[in-house]
């Protein structure tokens, strides 16, 4: 396959390159830029010297149309200007930004503070939650890759909501992320002197992933709800840990919740339902496309605690994007992604 990446110099782009480099079906890789045309990629990123010495190319629709797959790993509001002109010109399109996730254009403008994508292009986009939407992903001309927080949240709670085991109308999610989720552009928030030795909450009740999670719960479970969702920054480079709380429904037990998760993900190689440990750690999925889920029930409160860990740059971004590409081309989902987590 001939593959192109727009936005390759960001963390998501770097991770796409890392995994695609060992993807057995990739024959060509093209890296596109809006501002650094002609620059050697390995000159910018010395760790890729003699590995990825590609020259950054100008974004050109004619060149992009010759490819089999185009990934956009760009800031919000950029892909929505690029993707519509590429639709049905040849390549499969996979967007890692949030531009095509929300089907309600007014909702996108409200939460992202950006102009929404073209209505026709948005109508053709498919939400790329790999384990839940594979049938539509297979035939999609444009995939809206899920956000990192929604990926962890949805994978851990969707089975339990769909089976009526937890009350989604009282769902509370506490989410924590490493600083790579903020991208590689320096800011006061991510400055080492202010980020190190600190633990902060941000976008209180205002995170743009809230409507994405609510929309997906409705899409995959037919349950309409509003959630309480808040995000925190942890002084580490990568990783996401979400902790969801919800009351049990009827006679649901911890055993029935665990069984439900095991049944749903029995044939999904990247989701691991943890039963033989008392904790979940982001280090155990670091650098990999794995998703670890642990569920516990507090009998005193009759409430479930559902914990999920992913690498925000892999399962939460580039890894899931490649997993979706594999689904589109009829390849095993693990192709190019079957790596051992880094852990240390």
Residues annotated as catalytic (active site), given as ranges: 148
Q: Which residue has the tokens 């093209």?
A: 30
Q: How far is CA 100 from CA 76, 107, 278, in A?
A: 10, 12, 37
- Collapsing DSSP to helix, strand or coil, 234 comes out as coil
Contact 306, 244 (CB under 8 A): yes
Alpha-helical regions (H) of 119-239 = 119-124, 134-138, 148-162, 192-195, 209-221
Cα three-residue angle 338-342-344, rounded to 5 degrees? 165
- Please report where in the chains the tokens 């782009």 appear, as a residue: 13
**CB-based contact 231:207 (threshold 8 Å):** yes
Cα angle, residue 48 at apex, residues 42 and 50 outer, rounded to 5°: 85
Enumerate the H helices of 59-165 as residue ranges: 61-64, 79-86, 105-112, 119-124, 134-138, 148-162
């Amino acid at each position: 396959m001939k593959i192109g990446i727009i936005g390759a110099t960001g963390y998501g782009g770097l991770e796409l390159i890392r995994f695609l480099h060992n993807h057995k079906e990739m024959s060509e890789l093209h890296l596109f830029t809006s501002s650094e045309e002609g620059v050697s990629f390995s000159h910018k990123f010395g760790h890729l010297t003699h590995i990825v010495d590609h020259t950054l190319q100008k974004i050109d629709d004619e060149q992009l149309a010759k490819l089999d797959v185009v990934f956009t790993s760009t800031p919000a509001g950029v892909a929505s200007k690029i993707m519509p002109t590429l639709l049905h010109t040849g390549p499969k399109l996979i967007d890692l930004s949030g531009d095509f996730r929300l089907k309600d254009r007014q909702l996108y403008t409200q939460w992202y503070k950006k102009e929404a994508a073209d209505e026709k292009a948005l109508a053709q986009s498919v939400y790329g939650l790999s384990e839940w939407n594979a049938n539509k992903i297979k035939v999609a001309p444009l995939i809206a890759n899920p956000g990192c927080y929604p990926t962890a949240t949805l994978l851990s709670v969707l089975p339990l909501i769909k089976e009526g085991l937890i009350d989604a109308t009282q769902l509370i999610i506490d989410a924590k992320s490493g600083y790579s989720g903020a991208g590689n552009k320096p800011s006061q928030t991510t400055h080492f002197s202010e980020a190190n030795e600190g633990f902060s909450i941000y976008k209180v009740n205002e995170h743009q992933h809230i409507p994405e999670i609510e929309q997906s719960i409705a899409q995959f479970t037919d349950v309409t709800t509003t959630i309480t969702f808040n995000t925190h920054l942890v002084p580490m480079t990568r990783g996401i840990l979400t902790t969801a709380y919800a009351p049990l429904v009827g006679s649901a037990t911890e055993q029935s919740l665990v069984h439900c998760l095991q049944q749903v993900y029995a044939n999904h190689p990247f989701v691991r339902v943890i039963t033989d440990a008392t904790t979940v750690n982001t280090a155990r999925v670091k650098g990999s496309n794995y998703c670890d889920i642990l569920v516990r029930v507090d009998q005193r409160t009759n409430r479930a605690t559902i914990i999920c860990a992913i690498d925000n740059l892999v399962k939460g971004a580039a890894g899931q994007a490649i997993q979706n590409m594999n689904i589109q081309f009829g390849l095993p989902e693990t192709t190019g992604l079957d790596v051992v987590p880094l852990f240390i």
